[in-house]
C-alpha cells in the first residue's frame, strides 16, 4: 500500500480503518448476504444503520430531542435554496453574512426566494476574514440569520458564534464535528458530508422542529424539511451507502473524541501557520490571524510561478492536492479530522526545503 497525503478540500481524506472496514463489507455486509448498497432502504438492516448514525450524531454534538436530524441529498448547495424556501415567509427579511464564496452563493439563492439583508459583508476583504460579531447589523424581527462557519476557499473561520434573537442558521460543511459546539445556539445547521462526515452523497440537516413548521404551502413536498422529519428521512430512497459510511465515521469520531480531535486539529493547523509566520514573508497567510481556519490553511508564495512549482513538486513528493481553489489561486492545505499529523509534519518539512531552494 502506498497511500499519499491527500490535502484535498473535498471529497477529502477518510480514516484508513474506516475505508478498510468498508472494503471488507463491500460485497457482503455481515449477516445480510449482499452489499449494503443492494439492500432495501425500508429493511431492518438499513434502518438500524441510519438509526445508529443519528444516535451517534446526537451523542457527539449534544443534539436535543426537539431537534430533528435529517439525511438529505443535494449537498450544501441545495440547502442554499431550501433554507429560505422553508424559513423565509412573504413579507419577512432574512439576514445573511457574506464572508466569502460560499456565503455569497447562499445569498444569491436566498434572493431568488425573498428579501435578504446583508448584515455584514467582508467577502472581498484581503486578508480574508469572517465578520466580527460587533459589526453585525441585524434586522428587527428577521426570519433567521445565516452564517458560513468556515469558508473552505478563503481559509477563514468563525471562532465564536453570534448570539441572535432570530434562529441562527449555519453552513458547517467544512468544520462540522471538528470542534465542540452548542447546538441550542442554532435553529438549523447543515453540512455536506465530503469533508468530515464521509464521502459525498449525503447532507446532514439539524433543525429545530418548531421552525420546520413555518414552511409555506407552495413549497414542493420534497423540498419541505417537514416532509423528511415526518418520514424519518425515508420519503424517497436515501443515499444508503453514504449514510453507511457516515455511520462508520461517527463510530470513529466517538473512539477519538471530539475534544481530542479539536485539540489535534488546532495543533496540526498551528504547525503550518508557524512555518508560514517564520518564513520571513516567503509564505504569506491569506486570512487574518484571528480568523485562520483549522480546516483549510491557505497561503501565497512570492509569485504564481513559484506557487505552481510548489504544488507540482509537492505532488511528486506524495503531498497531493495542495493547489488553491481555481477562483483565488495560491496554496491550500485541507487538514480535516482524518488527516494525519505525520502528513502535516511532512508538509512543513517540504515547505522549509522549498524555501531554502527558492527563497
Out of 95, 109, 158, 171, which one is annotated catalytic?
171
Out of 95, 109, 175, 195, which one is annotated catalytic?
195
228 and 336 together in one domain: no
261 and 318 together in one domain: yes
Position 39 in a domain: yes
162 and 294 together in one domain: no
Predicted pLDDT of residue 31: 87
Predicted pLDDT of residue 2: 85
Neighbours of 253 (CB within 10 A): 24
The b-or-e profile of 27-50 (16+ CB within 10 A means b, else e) is eebeeeeeebeebebeeebbeebb
Kindly list the distances between the CA atom of residue 344 and the CA atoms of 201, 270, 291, in Å, as whole numbers in the listed order.
27, 10, 20
Q: What is the rounded CA–CA span in Å between residue 307 and residue 330?
A: 6
Position 111 in a domain: yes
Is 171 annotated in the active site?
Answer: yes
43 and 174 together in one domain: yes
Position 280 in a domain: yes
Predicted pLDDT of residue 299: 98
Q: Is 110:94 a contact under the CB 8 Å cutoff?
A: yes
263 and 213 together in one domain: no
Tens-digit pLDDT profile for residues 8-31:
999 999 999 999 999 999 999 998
Predicted pLDDT of residue 359: 87
Q: Which of 256, 284, 311 is the last residue of a domain?
A: 256
Out of 102, 175, 252, 294, which one is annotated catalytic?
102
CATH number at residue 182: 3.40.640.10
Q: Which of 256, 291, 316 is the last residue of a domain?
A: 256
Is 195 annotated in the active site?
Answer: yes
Could you give the number of structural domains in the chain? 2
Least Cα distance to 4 among 322, 354, 329, 328 occurs for: 322
220 and 262 together in one domain: no
49 and 174 together in one domain: yes
Q: What is the rounded CA–CA span in Å between residue 228 and residue 226?
A: 5
Q: Is 69:63 a contact under the CB 8 Å cutoff?
A: yes
Tens-digit pLDDT profile for residues 41-91:
998 999 999 999 999 999 999 999 999 999 999 999 999 999 999 999 999
Residue 19 cell numbers, joined: 475505508
198 and 84 together in one domain: yes
207 and 349 together in one domain: no
Q: What is the mean pLDDT of the chain?
A: 96
Is 323 annotated in the active site?
Answer: no
The stretches in the chain having pLDDT less than 70 are 1
- Please give the model's pTM, rounded to 2 decimal places: 0.96
Q: Which of 256, 290, 315 is the last residue of a domain?
A: 256
N-terminal to C-terminal alpha carbon distance within the chain: 35
98 and 173 together in one domain: yes
What is the domain range of residue 189?
16-256
CATH number at residue 329: 3.90.1150.10
Amino acid at each position: 500500500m502506498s497511500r499519499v497525503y491527500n490535502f484535498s478540500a473535498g471529497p477529502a481524506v477518510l480514516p484508513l480503518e474506516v475505508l478498510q472496514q468498508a472494503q471488507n463489507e463491500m460485497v457482503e455486509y455481515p449477516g445480510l448476504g449482499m452489499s449494503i448498497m443492494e439492500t432495501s432502504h425500508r429493511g431492518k438492516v438499513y434502518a438500524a444503520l441510519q438509526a445508529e448514525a443519528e444516535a451517534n450524531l446526537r451523542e457527539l454534538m449534544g443534539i436535543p430531542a426537539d431537534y430533528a436530524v435529517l439525511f438529505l441529498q443535494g449537498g450544501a448547495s441545495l440547502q442554499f435554496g431550501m433554507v429560505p424556501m422553508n424559513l423565509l415567509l412573504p413579507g419577512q427579511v432574512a439576514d445573511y453574512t457574506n464572508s466569502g464564496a460560499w456565503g455569497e452563493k447562499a445569498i444569491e439563492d436566498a434572493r431568488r426566494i425573498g428579501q435578504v439583508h446583508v448584515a455584514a459583508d467582508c467577502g472581498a476583504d484581503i486578508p480574508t476574514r469572517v465578520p466580527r460579531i460587533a459589526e453585525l447589523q441585524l434586522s428587527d424581527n428577521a426570519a433567521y440569520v445565516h452564517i458560513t462557519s468556515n469558508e473552505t476557499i478563503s481559509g477563514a473561520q468563525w471562532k465564536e458564534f453570534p448570539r441572535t434573537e432570530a434562529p441562527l442558521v449555519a453552513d458547517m460543511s467544512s468544520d462540522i464535528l471538528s470542534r465542540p459546539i452548542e447546538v441550542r445556539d442554532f435553529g438549523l445547521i447543515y453540512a455536506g458530508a465530503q469533508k468530515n462526515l464521509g464521502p459525498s452523497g449525503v447532507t446532514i440537516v439539524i433543525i429545530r422542529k418548531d421552525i420546520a413548521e413555518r414552511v409555506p404551502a407552495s413549497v414542493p413536498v420534497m423540498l419541505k424539511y417537514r416532509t423528511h422529519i415526518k418520514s424519518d428521512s425515508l420519503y424517497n430512497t436515501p443515499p444508503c451507502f453514504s449514510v453507511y459510511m457516515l455511520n462508520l465515521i461517527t463510530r470513529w469520531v466517538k473512539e477519538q473524541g471530539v475534544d481530542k480531535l479539536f485539540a489535534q486539529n488546532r495543533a496540526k493547523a498551528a504547525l503550518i501557520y508557524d512555518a508560514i509566520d517564520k518564513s520571513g514573508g516567503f509564505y504569506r497567510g491569506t486570512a487574518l490571524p484571528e480568523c485562520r481556519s483549522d480546516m483549510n490553511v491557505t497561503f501565497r508564495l512570492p509569485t504564481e510561478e513559484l506557487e505552481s512549482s510548489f504544488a507540482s513538486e509537492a505532488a511528486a513528493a506524495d503531498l497531493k492536492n495542495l493547489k488553491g481553489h481555481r477562483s483565488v489561486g495560491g496554496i491550500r492545505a485541507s487538514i480535516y479530522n482524518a488527516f494525519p499529523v505525520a502528513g502535516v509534519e511532512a508538509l512543513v518539512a517540504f515547505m522549509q526545503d522549498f524555501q531554502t531552494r527558492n527563497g
